[in-house]
Homo-oligomer: A and B are copies of this chain.
Amino acid sequence: MAGTTRERLLDTALAQFAARGSEAVAVTDLEQGAGLSPGSGSFYRHFRSKEDVLAAVVDREVERAVARRSTAPDTGLDARYAWSLDNLDGMRALIALLVREGGRLPHLDRVQTLLAEEGAHLDADDLRARMARGEIPSRDADAVASVVLFALVGHHLAEQFFGATVGVDRARFAAALASLVAT
């Protein structure tokens, strides 16, 4: 394992907190995962408490997600949906933390903001504009935007938490969703 001890602790914490929830992970586990002697308090030279390291993990993941951000493709619904699935994939660990920790996640507001901004790429106004241009059939734009958003989010969450075999690959899924909206 590479990086400073602090970074190795953060890496271990991210992996274990996302997989098992922070309550289920002992500081000892983090020390062991970072190559420190388990049971030594060496962890506390780097973080004040377990809550502190959780906050630092969330912080780092939010920064990373923001840094990874790219602009939504303008080419078509198809490409835009595939792009959104990829974005969700990049936030996989953060989403796992959010779901496992629930309302007690540090920096909860920042994570929610990040996800809301992600969802904004799929908003009803964009659909309304496409409907006005005759690009896609006119329907209840707000409801269709909901369906699109939740189909993409559901695809991601089901895969992550239910181990659901999606059955069809990502491109085919995005294409089917675009086809439903566009015809």
Contact = CB atoms under 8 A, between A and B. Distances in A.
Interface of A: 19-21, 23-24, 98-100, 102, 112, 115, 137, 139-140, 142-147, 149-155, 157-158, 161-162, 166-168, 172-173, 175-177, 179-181, 183
Copies in the complex: 2
Contacts of A98: 161-162
B140 A172 contact: yes
Residue among A115, A143, A145 having the largest count of chain B Cβ atoms under 10 Å? A143
Contacts of A183: 137
Contacts of A149: 154, 158
Contact of A166 (B146, B167, B175, B177): B146
B147 A177 contact: yes
A122 to B, nearest CB: 12
Contacts of A167: 142, 145-146
Contacts of A166: 146
A20 to B, nearest CB: 7
B180 A168 contact: no
Contact of A24 (B23, B176, B180): B23
Contact of A112 (B19, B112, B162, B176): B162
A176 B140 contact: yes
A168 B99 CA distance: 23
A105 to B, nearest CB: 11
Residue among A23, A24, A98, A153 having the largest count of chain B Cβ atoms under 10 Å? A153
Contacts of A146: 155, 166-168, 173, 176
A140 B100 contact: no
Contacts of A139: 176, 179-180
Nearest to A112: B162
B157 A157 contact: yes
